[in-house]
Structure 1
């Protein structure tokens, strides 16, 4: 969910590098060359070491557990335990609780904006081999005082995921995603899907989806210039923004109103769960789901459309030229940090070995791209995305059709404003109430 200047150029370059060839590596095949640093040598030849990783991407918990087993095969003396973050709990909250208890995990998966909060507790990773292969600007937001403190795990994107088989039937031919460029275009598609006998849309009511993803489009959509977006956030904090008269915010909520009208769960809009979304989309019971490419492992388990899915942007107006109407939100999202307070030197070296394993070794790359369906932030990894959602994101990237995701939101943003969005979704509060609660939240941010 994150913003950094020049992201369109970065992601375009990444898409090309992912598909065409390795940059800075003479072989397109996964290679250990240069990765067998003293860190790996120590970790692979010493005594038994046990490390842990706090996972805040619940959708890849099983994949991470399998990766830990594969890693153990390559490094028998290292045991990696994967701990899940509780559903609905932010990684910042969980990591803070573990530190307060004096028992942090060796590796913690954080959102980009949370890394700075732990900067005095985690290792400087600036000297690691993978820094040479990290794509341009992928570590800028986690670098403080010249030291990079985090490993860029994944580039992610989100928007409307559509089931092509459903929408093809609805439009009476092969659906062209580029045909949806305005709110009216979107509503017309909803009507066509409904007329075909299928529910048009499902809105998953989780606070993180509504707050961190959907509402964040109102911030990122203010300008293509990330400096202007940053200023907008500062003005929100200063109480100098009237959201009630803001065109982008109102356009986004107007679109949300349309979504509410065609929501399969509109009779009980807060009753849905994350798990329900991939099931009804994959089974073709709905045509569209607002979510991100991280959802493919769950969708694929229900897939009846032969893997034919893609993304639509979230149109916020009826002017196709307006920024955001044809752009997908994407950026480096999750980061891995290594504890330096409680972890032993041996555990720290083992943790570094795991990070290098993902970047340079065949099993590690296979985990990232093929098992976890992650778009890597490293130029040497040339495996092509096998899942349709990652491929769709890469297509938007290659065409320069991306909007910078918000990556530095306060840790409680999704829970606080997400709750306000839930209230609006349930019609327990009107737009004026929503505006006031969002404005009050930002004015409370220190």
Structure 2
């Protein structure tokens, strides 16, 4: 028996290194082969194909990571995202539409301050991705410009040089000069204002409300008052649009205003931004480089007006699935930092990066280069319409401006309704 015990002990000592080695090998193999699925919720349907391309590129280099893209937009994105959380299927990466979204999902969002993708964000855009406790939870998707998208060929045929327009009075003179030649130029109107779209009306309103907050988006979000400091100029623009736009204004929809009216030279300008670039160049190669320009809204009576530039969307990472966090962060870092991903973003999505020290020579058209120059200047101004209360666009300001265009409400009544409803929505949604 004693000899047996000794032989058993000796046998165990001899095989132990092999057992430990096998265990270590299995552990290492398990870690390296561990697969993870990252769910990415996108609210911009127009760039779904480009995101899918980026995902394929990333998965080719990271075979153990699968990124599942879900897209919901065109007004239904917010509800679809909320239903994901309500059903316990919170995505890992989410596209957030301003501080109201961030407040709603704050308890689910990770701090991204130390993410390498966060290091080069344009400083004035940081507040758009922060919680009330000054925690950075969102990274801007791109740099967008808001103003008038113009057809330079129409301007040229009318003998109007857009580069010589520097104030509101000169803008009005240009509008009247183009209108006087409407028949010769075969125009349906000077403006192709898409009055059927309440979101476009809302983003236009930011031209007259943003200056009040001086790039502090948190302050704009917390305010319970709709600022009327540029009331006079806002009314002047709405009256100008009412007179010189395609009629009836409320029948003009978003897609036709871009793909028919502007593209085909049936109007001189539409109230949009550089997000229309991919659509226009898909209709005709180099249309943007050859024909597109942008003009700001001339709001100041003294000083130079520039295009409003900011980001409508921010990317956040949730903490609902801890085992997915690293993979989600790594993918975002790759999108923002790798040249191959940026090439897709700037050349196919046609985004202008919302980052410091970007080489504008890489941007594929002059409009995008101009937007980056304006957006990174010391006097750049951020639009604040994404910080309006939930429901304000579709239920209040959009319908009230539509009623004003149709002659069914006075300016004073419009002001009163907008002010009251803005305050009520902010009060209810803030709980204060």
2:172 to 183, 187, 192: 187
1:340 maps to: 319
2:7 maps to: none
> Which shifted more, 80-89 or 111-120?
80-89
Q: Does 1:253 align with 2:235?
A: yes
Q: Which protein, 1 or 2, shows the higher relative CO under an 8 Å CA cutoff with sep ≥ 6?
A: 1
2:91 maps to: 105
- CA contact under 8 A between 2:186 and 2:266: conserved in structure 1? no
1:220 and 1:228 mapped to 2: Cα distance? Answer: 9
Aligned residues: 383
1:93 maps to: 79
Q: Following TM superposition, by how much is the alpha carbon of 1:229 offset from its aligned partner in structure 2, in angstroms?
A: 11
Q: Following TM superposition, by how much is the alpha carbon of 1:329 offset from its aligned partner in structure 2, in angstroms?
A: 0.9
Q: Following TM superposition, by how much is the alpha carbon of 1:355 offset from its aligned partner in structure 2, in angstroms?
A: 0.4
- CA contact under 8 A between 1:92 and 1:411: conserved in structure 2? no
Q: Does 1:429 align with 2:409?
A: yes
- CA contact under 8 A between 1:282 and 1:305: conserved in structure 2? no
Q: Following TM superposition, by how much is the alpha carbon of 1:440 offset from its aligned partner in structure 2, in angstroms?
A: 1.5
1:117 maps to: 104
Q: Counterparts in 2 of 1:110-189, with a 5 A limit? A: 110-113=96-99, 114-144=101-131, 145=133, 147-171=135-159, 175-182=161-168, 184-189=169-174
**What is the SS of the residue equivalent to 2:283?**
coil
1:312 maps to: 295
2:60 maps to: 73
**What is the SS of the residue equivalent to 2:158?**
helix
Q: Following TM superposition, by how much is the alpha carbon of 1:301 offset from its aligned partner in structure 2, in angstroms?
A: 2.0
- CA contact under 8 A between 1:220 and 1:403: conserved in structure 2? yes
1:229 and 1:69 mapped to 2: Cα distance? Answer: 36
Question: Can you list the C-alpha shifts for 1:210-244, whole angstroms capped at 9, x where unaligned?
Answer: 11x11122211447x4579948973627xxx7x5x
- CA contact under 8 A between 2:224 and 2:422: conserved in structure 1? no
2:257 maps to: 277
Q: Following TM superposition, by how much is the alpha carbon of 1:370 offset from its aligned partner in structure 2, in angstroms?
A: 1.6
2:326 and 2:217 mapped to 1: Cα distance? Answer: 41
TM-score, with structure 2 as normaliser: 0.79
Give the 3 Å change call, closer, same or farther, for CA 81–261 of structure 1 in structure 2: farther
- CA contact under 8 A between 1:312 and 1:328: conserved in structure 2? yes
Larger radius of gyration: 2
Q: Structure 1 or 2: larger helix share?
A: 2
Question: Can you list the C-alpha shifts for 1:245-293, whole angstroms capped at 9, x where unaligned?
Answer: x5x12311221111122212x22x2233221122131222221011011
Question: Can you list the C-alpha shifts for 1:15-37, whole angstroms capped at 9, x where unaligned?
Answer: xxxxxxxxxxxxxxxxxxxxxxx
Q: Following TM superposition, by how much is the alpha carbon of 1:438 offset from its aligned partner in structure 2, in angstroms?
A: 0.5
1:401 and 1:137 mapped to 2: Cα distance? Answer: 11
Q: Following TM superposition, by how much is the alpha carbon of 1:336 offset from its aligned partner in structure 2, in angstroms?
A: 0.6
Q: Does 1:289 align with 2:270?
A: yes
Give the 3 Å change call, closer, same or farther, for CA 164–45 of structure 1 in structure 2: farther
1:270 and 1:179 mapped to 2: Cα distance? Answer: 28
> Which shifted more, 187-196 or 360-369?
187-196
Q: Which runs of 5+ in 1 are unaligned?
A: 1-41
Give the 3 Å change call, closer, same or farther, for CA 433–230 of structure 1 in structure 2: same
Q: Following TM superposition, by how much is the alpha carbon of 1:358 offset from its aligned partner in structure 2, in angstroms?
A: 0.9
TM-score, with structure 1 as normaliser: 0.77
**What is the SS of the residue equivalent to 1:378?**
coil
RMSD: 3.0
Q: Does 1:361 align with 2:338?
A: yes
Q: Following TM superposition, by how much is the alpha carbon of 1:306 offset from its aligned partner in structure 2, in angstroms?
A: 5.0
Q: Following TM superposition, by how much is the alpha carbon of 1:147 offset from its aligned partner in structure 2, in angstroms?
A: 3.4
- CA contact under 8 A between 2:289 and 2:366: conserved in structure 1? no
1:351 to 320, 328, 333: 328
> Which shifted more, 77-86 or 139-148?
139-148
1:209 to 200, 224, 228: 200
2:375 and 2:357 mapped to 1: Cα distance? Answer: 18
